[in-house]
A and B are shown apart, each in its own frame.
Chain A
Amino acid sequence: MDKEPQPLQLRKQLKQGQDMAAIEVTHLNKTFKTHKKEAGLKGSFKGFFHRETLYKKAVKSVSFSLEEGELVGFLGPNGAGKTTLLKMLSGILYPTSGKAQVLGFTPWERNPGYQRQFSIVMGQKNQLWWDLPPSESFLLNRDIYGVNHKTFRHTLDEMIELLDLKELLDIPVRQLSLGQRMKCELVASLLHQPRVLFLDEPTIGLDVISQEKIRSFIKTYNQEKKTTVLLTSHYMQDVEQLCKRVLVINHGGIVYDGSLSSLSNRYIDHKVIKIRFAETQSATAPPNIKGIVEWDKHHAVLKIQKKEVAQVTHKLLGDFRIEDLSVEKVEVEEVIRRIFEESPKAELNTQGEDKPHKWIKKPGETP
């Protein structure tokens, strides 16, 4: 594929792209509006003539940047603003304020030059023609994106190989399984060889095997093509296996930007020590041992501050006859849960009311 001569325009942009980030987002905001619905018939009547507008800040002053070729994961609970961000970067949503540059373009200007160079795949939406075989949708995308026939054939063959799709090409989409459909969605989105790829929950609802396949495909694709990938997922495994760097987003703002490993270092200050005793102990723990979570005659689990782990381990080994001792690090999933639990409740509501309303009355200033 790299042997294919790049069109002149694209080559120029590639050259320019070397000294700037692939994605550059600064103070991006998106506020949604809705109308308040009062309960009951009386409320409905009132609403017919006059209704109060409510605002929700889906994305709050988000800034970050991505280098070309990076594969970055977006983490956050439902409604945190991940999808809204991806949609703004795709030009689907118009932001309330702020700036974003992807490959040197402002996404919401919807410049065809940009549109030919990126793709967005949403796990819950499908762009394939429901009643026709996927190959027909591929052909249509070839024409929409103006991919030349030779390149198209080549790219398609390559991806059929990678995703093992040969048998599916001529079956109507409605008869395909969810996993098969997702594979075809990916192919349809990659036929024009985008330089930037947004994946919104690409593995949602899939069985474990399909998830694994999609995951390894994304990994290979990113490595081989040096495509910049920004991915959101519910499944920790997606992020753990694919992304070195993660952006954690909560209540519309980025709360962490860095490597996955230092994420746990930063948010978790303890480790868990598990012990199996070689001989039966008394049922109650001796008072000089701290951080006990569980203790019985044969086992113990302790939660110990990181810096004290060595000292405590040493003491344990000295005090008891121990058959097995393991120091376990905390699961990333646990780390994430912690972050979301810890984020201040006040962020839900800039009005400072104590009820955690999601929708607020005034757009207000971004913190």
Chain B
Amino acid sequence: MQKYWTVFRVNWQNALQYRGPTLISILGNLMHISVLLYLWNAIYKDEQRLGNYSLSDLITYYVLQLLINGMVLSYISWQIGTEIREGSFSNFLVRPINYLHYWFTINLSGKLFEGLLISVVGLIMVGLLIDHIALPSDAVTMVHFALAMMLAGILAFEFDFAIGILAFWLVQIDSFKYMLQYGMFFLAGALLPLDLFPALFQQIAHALPFRFMVYFPIQIFLGKETQPYEGFAIASIWIIALYVVLRFGLKRGIARYEAVGK
């Protein structure tokens, strides 16, 4: 356990080194969200309505999306792909550290760090938009939300890790990875709430596990998902199943990596 704690700390130090870039990436994100807020505002001003969302629901949806993007969604597959492709992955083969757990730690530490920063930004936004934020009224909802966020974080990591280790089999995955990631986020409800989709799309998105990464926690927060226990159960099953698959996949990948010899 000690070694993972060290990895965690070192990664924080690393993140703190780059304060300029960190700020800029938050600003960029903030910009995108602000534009979307203006978009919803313009739509509601024309007395139009999106599904069963009120304006405050939508604003809350995107402020939470900002938070989730910082705290939950994982972007480590890029580095994993590079490590495998360029051969620095070999360093892990000779070390007594589990690659999956190692990256889980890195991701966790990174997301907590970014989450902390994004929370500050989020709080300022909530302060500015307080009249338009739909805050949950009871503590149970908050507990449900926190639990959903945790599951979302683990699930997002697992999917991202899976994309990363595709590099064992595919030489050039960068473009492919973008596609998978973006498609995944779209089906997670990061761009638009899933219940605004046409019926067929909704059914597809509902059957897939990606909705647990963005849409599901936000629905809980907005009080549109009062009985989330079924969702928790399904998400947990996915997490366990993916964990087994990833362990197996990593094993196969390493075997392949050694066979190719880099």
- Residues in A lying within 8 Å of B, measured CB to CB: 37, 40-41, 43-45, 47-48
Q: Is B52 among interface residues, defined by CB-CB distance under 8 A?
A: no
Across the A-B interface, give the 8 residue pairs with the lowest CB-CB distance, nearest first: A44-B16, A44-B13, A48-B16, A48-B19, A41-B9, A41-B13, A41-B12, A47-B16
Ordered by A's residue number, 15 sampled pairs between the chains whose C-beta atoms are within 8 Å are: A37-B17, A40-B13, A41-B9, A41-B12, A41-B13, A43-B13, A44-B12, A44-B13, A44-B16, A44-B17, A45-B16, A47-B16, A47-B17, A48-B16, A48-B19
* Distance to closest chain B CB from A329 (angstroms): 49
* Distance to closest chain B CB from A37 (angstroms): 7
A333 to B9: give the CA distance in the assembly, Å: 46
- The residues of A that contact B12 with a CB separation of less than 8 Å are 41, 44
- Residues in B lying within 8 Å of A, measured CB to CB: 9, 12-13, 16-17, 19
Report the tally of A-B residue pairs with Cβ distances under 8 A.
15
- The residues of B that contact A41 with a CB separation of less than 8 Å are 9, 12-13
A133 to B19: give the CA distance in the assembly, Å: 42
- Cβ-closest chain B residue relative to A38: B13
- Cβ-closest chain B residue relative to A51: B19
- The residues of A that contact B19 with a CB separation of less than 8 Å are 48
- The residues of A that contact B16 with a CB separation of less than 8 Å are 44-45, 47-48
A40 to B10: give the CA distance in the assembly, Å: 8
- Cβ-closest chain A residue relative to B16: A44
A43 to B10: give the CA distance in the assembly, Å: 12
- Cβ-closest chain A residue relative to B10: A41
Contacts beyond the supplied A47-B17, A48-B19: 13 A-B pairs with Cβ under 8 Å: A37-B17, A40-B13, A41-B9, A41-B12, A41-B13, A43-B13, A44-B12, A44-B13, A44-B16, A44-B17, A45-B16, A47-B16, A48-B16
Q: Which of B12, B16, B17 has the most CB of A within 10 A?
A: B16
- Cβ-closest chain B residue relative to A46: B16
- Cβ-closest chain A residue relative to B15: A44
- The residues of B that contact A43 with a CB separation of less than 8 Å are 13
- Cβ-closest chain A residue relative to B19: A48
* Distance to closest chain B CB from A121 (angstroms): 28
* Distance to closest chain B CB from A241 (angstroms): 39
- The residues of B that contact A37 with a CB separation of less than 8 Å are 17
* Distance to closest chain A CB from B209 (angstroms): 35
A44 to B18: give the CA distance in the assembly, Å: 10
A82 to B109: give the CA distance in the assembly, Å: 42
A40 to B12: give the CA distance in the assembly, Å: 10
A47 to B12: give the CA distance in the assembly, Å: 12
* Distance to closest chain B CB from A54 (angstroms): 15
- Cβ-closest chain A residue relative to B12: A41
* Distance to closest chain A CB from B81 (angstroms): 21
- The residues of B that contact A48 with a CB separation of less than 8 Å are 16, 19
- The residues of B that contact A40 with a CB separation of less than 8 Å are 13
* Distance to closest chain B CB from A196 (angstroms): 38
A45 to B16: give the CA distance in the assembly, Å: 7
* Distance to closest chain B CB from A188 (angstroms): 28
